Structure 1
Amino acid sequence: MRFGLSFLPDCTPETKSPQTYFSDALELSVQAEMGGLDSVKMTEHYLHHYGGYCPSPLGFLSAVAARTKSVRLMTGCVLPVFHHPVQLAAEAAQVDAISGGRLDVGFARAYLPDEFDALGLEMDESTDRFRETIRAVLRIWTEEKVSEQTPFFSYREVTGLPRPTQRPHPPVWGAAVRTPESFTWLGTEGLGLLITPLISPHEFRDHLTLYRDAFRTAHGGSALRPRVAASLPLVVADTDERAEELAETYLRRYLDVWAEAVSPWDRRESSAYRGYSGFGWMLRGLRPTTLYTEGGAIVGSPATVIERIRAFNDHIGGVDQILWQIDFGAMPLPEARRTLELFCDKVLPEVKSL
């Protein structure tokens, strides 16, 4: 199993300024590479304190590339529904070149109503727009004189520049959250799968089976293999008691900021987002202890964290990579650094063989 860092800024101006947030995230990225982690991931969002500091994961990853030598750089995710494929393909290929071929591109459909409203896009069209844009980006990376005619964009005889450094293109992932069809589609398309198991890994086990079955049906006998990466909050401290104290404070902040961003779902429905209505109510009622007792976060001393990682991997049916959120809730840099230090020194040697 491989491990990395997952960043999603959830700061308010009172808890961390944008300058401080990115300074901390870059320092943690360098520390992660030195500690033996494999990847750094950043997420795109707008407008809300949940993710809104980072409208450009590729911009952040370019800065990480300049400070590191080997760590993989992952968008987790860019939101293709908000971008033209010519632009997205070119900007991603640029970061692939800057980093010497270290980019992984993760795509997500986007799900925050305020983002769609502000950008003047229909949520009910998001699935088709998401899939058409990914398909178009892959063509621009691998073909010349590409023409497209879709309800969302059109162009004739486009040859994208720069060409990807990795051939035929950077590894591609897609995020899935609740909709079974999303897991099946990603498997059929041969993409890697990104998940965030919010409450319990048990609820994702059947979805991972859908993904893997669809992948093997479509790509059995080829060199392609299904890949699953999970993002989880992590706190490691010298004792379970100290780790739980930190988790209670900063997971509560994380959940509160997230709940505010999804609160429009309390009064919104969309045929493209079955099961999302009331999402804010669910988050507001979720206790931090529920996350780390049921596996949606990993919290404890090094020995406890080793045990909980093994349990998580067993309950969910096995993942290839875990990407740790270690600075959630605008956690101060010293506390996040301590989690990363303890994980790399005392936990990683015991779990990387999973």
Structure 2
Amino acid sequence: MKFGVSFLPDTGPADRPAADYYANALKLSALGDRLGYTYVKMTEHYLKPYGGYSPSPLMFLAAAAAQTKSIRLMTGGIQASFHHPIQLAAEVAQLDAISNGRLELGFARAFLPYEFEAFGIDLDSSKARFQQTIDATVRLLAEESVSEDTPFFRYRDAQSLPRPTQQPRPPVWVAALLTPSSFEWIGERGFNLLMAAPPRKDALAKTQDMVALYRETFERHHGHTGRRPQVAISIPLMIGTSDAHALALAEPRLRHHWRYFADAAKSWEQVQSSAYQGYNEAMKNKMGGMDTADLDATAVLGTPDTVRQRIRALEADLGLDAILWHIDYGAQPYELMSNNLEVFARDVLPGL
């Protein structure tokens, strides 16, 4: 299994200046590179403390590329509905060149109504816009001349420059959460699967079904190529001298994260969309907060031995290929985040 560093800032000016956040995140990216982590990942969100310090994962990762040598740079993910494929393909290939072929191109389907409202984009058309933007971007990266005629963009004989350093294109990852058709679409396209934190215990069986659906669809459409489906998940990490110590360190910071998430998710209270079936109930549940058992189930907390046990359980439950440690939840100080990366690399990884 591979491991990486995942950033999803839950911070704003009241917590720390943006310059401090980016300086710490770049130092942690360089530390992850030196310690042998495979990936560093940055997400994309706008307007609120939940993710608002990550409006451009490509810009952040370009800075990280200049300070690292081998760690792979993952967008996790670009919210495709808010971008035009010609601009996106060009910027993606530019970063692939700057990093000498280290880009991992991850997409996520935007899900916060206030972001759609701010961009003037209709929620009900978002699934079609999301999928068609990804398809068009991938074609621009992989093909020499591309024409598109969709309800969202139109162009003829476009040759995207620069061309990607990785041929025929960088690896593509797409995030999915609830909808079976989304998992099927990712598998049908032959993309890798990105997932958020592990499910609560009562949702594990459904998540297992969705991952199995993705793998089965991928194998059916692409098994003959020799490629295999890849599944990565982002998970909060906290390592302590005892399980109780790790929980004590993590709990207030995870609750901070969920408070900011609940504030962002409130925008679903007055919104219904046929393109987001089940989201109203899912967001309502998440806004209700989490008890200690839920915190422990959806994060990896404990001593090095406990962390190893949790990794093995996650691998058995979901067949994971990569775990991306979400380390910046709760506006943590740099010393705590760097300690987690160092202790994991020194005391956990050799025993796996």
- Tell me, yes or no, whether TM beats 0.5: yes
- Ranges of 4+ aligned residues in structure 1 off by more than 6 Å: none
Determine if the alignment matches structure 1 residue 11 to structure 2 residue 11: yes
The amino acid across from 1:298 in the alignment is V
Q: Is residue 2:2 matched to residue 1:2?
A: yes
Paired residues of 2:97 and 2:164 also in contact (CA < 8 A): yes
Helix, strand or coil at the partner of 1:272 = helix
Match of 1:211 in 2: 214
Is 1:283 the equivalent of 2:286? yes
For 2:158 and 2:31, locate their aligned partners in 1 and report how far apart those are by CA, in whole Å.
41
* Alpha-carbon contact 2:254-2:295 (below 8 Å) kept: no
Q: Aligned to 2:314, what secondary structure does the other structure show? A: helix
**Which residue does the alignment assign to 2:345?**
344
Contact 2:42 / 2:57 at 8 angstroms: preserved in 1?
A: yes
SS in 2 for 1:323: strand
| 1:292 Cα deviation from its structure 2 partner | 4.0
SS at match of 1:126: helix
Within 5 A, what are the aligned runs for 1:208-287?
208-287=211-290
Please name the residue that 1:89 is paired with: 89
Could you tell me which amino acid in structure 2 is paired with residue 121 of structure 1?
I
Provide the C-alpha distance between the structure 2 equivalents of 1:279 and 1:164, rounded to a whole number of angstroms: 38
Assess if the C-alpha contact under 8 Å between 1:80 and 1:108 holds in 2: yes
Normalising to structure 2: TM-score of the pair? Answer: 0.96
Counterpart AA for 2:173: W
Instruction: Show the counterpart of 1:191.
Output: 191
Q: CA deviation at 1:223?
A: 2.4
Aligned equivalent of 2:34: 34
User: 1:237, 1:243 within 8 Å by CA — same for their partners in 2?
Assistant: yes
Match of 2:54 in 1: 54
Q: Measure the CA separation in 1 of the matches of 2:104 and 2:294.
A: 28
Cα distance between partner residues in 2 of 1:213 and 1:145? 32
Provide the rounded CA distance (Å) in 1 between the counterparts of 2:156 and 2:280. Answer: 40
Q: Which residue of 2 aligns with 1:182?
A: 182
Quick one: distance in 2 between partners of 1:293 and 1:109?
Answer: 27
- Per-residue deviation, residues 107-162 of structure 1 (Å, max 9, x unmatched): 11110000000100001111111111111111111222321111000011110000
In 1, distance between residues paired with 2:322 and 2:291?
23
Could you report, residue by residue, the CA deviation over 1:54-100 in whole angstroms, capped at 9, with x for unpaired residues?
A: 11100000011000000000000001110100000000000000000
Amino acid at match of 2:309: E
- CA distance, structure 1, for counterparts of residue 166 and residue 107 of structure 2: 18
Letter in 2 for 1:69: K
Aligned equivalents of 2:257 and 2:17: distance in 1? 16
Kindly provide the amino acid, as one letter, of the partner of residue 314 in structure 1: A
The C-alpha deviation readout for 1:242-289, integer Å capped at 9, x for no partner, is: 211111110000011111111111222110101110444312323252
Secondary structure of 1:225's partner? coil
Q: Which SS does the other structure have where 1:168 is aligned?
A: coil
Structure 1 match to 2:310: 308
What TM-score do the two structures reach when normalised by structure 1? Answer: 0.96
* Equivalent residue, structure 2, for 1:320: 321
The answer to whether the 8 Å contact 1:237/1:338 transfers is: no
The 8 Å contact of residues 106 and 175 in structure 2, kept in 1 or not, is answered as yes
Report how many residues are paired.
349
SS in 1 for 2:257: helix
Aligned to 2:161: 161
The structural deviation recorded for 1:202 is 4.1
Q: Which runs of 5+ in 2 are unaligned?
A: none
Give the CA deviation at 1:300: 0.6
In angstroms, what is the RMSD of aligned CA positions?
A: 1.2
Separation of aligned partners in 1, 2:295 and 2:206: 15
1:25-63 Cα distance to aligned partner (Å, 9 max, x none): 111111111112110000011111111111110000001
Inter-partner Cα distance in structure 2 for 1:288 and 1:49 = 22
Relative distance call for 1:202 and 1:322 in structure 2 (3 A) is farther
Structure 1: any 5+ residue segments left out of the alignment? none
Q: Secondary structure at the match of 1:105?
A: strand
| AA matched with 1:348 | L
Identity fraction in percent? 49
Separation in 2, partners of 1:139, 1:3: 29
What SS does the aligned partner of 1:137 have? helix
Q: Is the deviation greater in 160-169 or in 324-333?
A: 324-333
Confirm whether residue 332 of structure 1 aligns to residue 308 of structure 2: no
Distance (Å, rounded) in 1 between the aligned partners of 2:339 and 2:277: 40
Distance in 1 separating the partners of 2:165 and 2:259: 40
Match of 2:75 in 1: 75
- Distance in structure 1 (CA, Å) of the matches to 2:41 and 2:143: 27
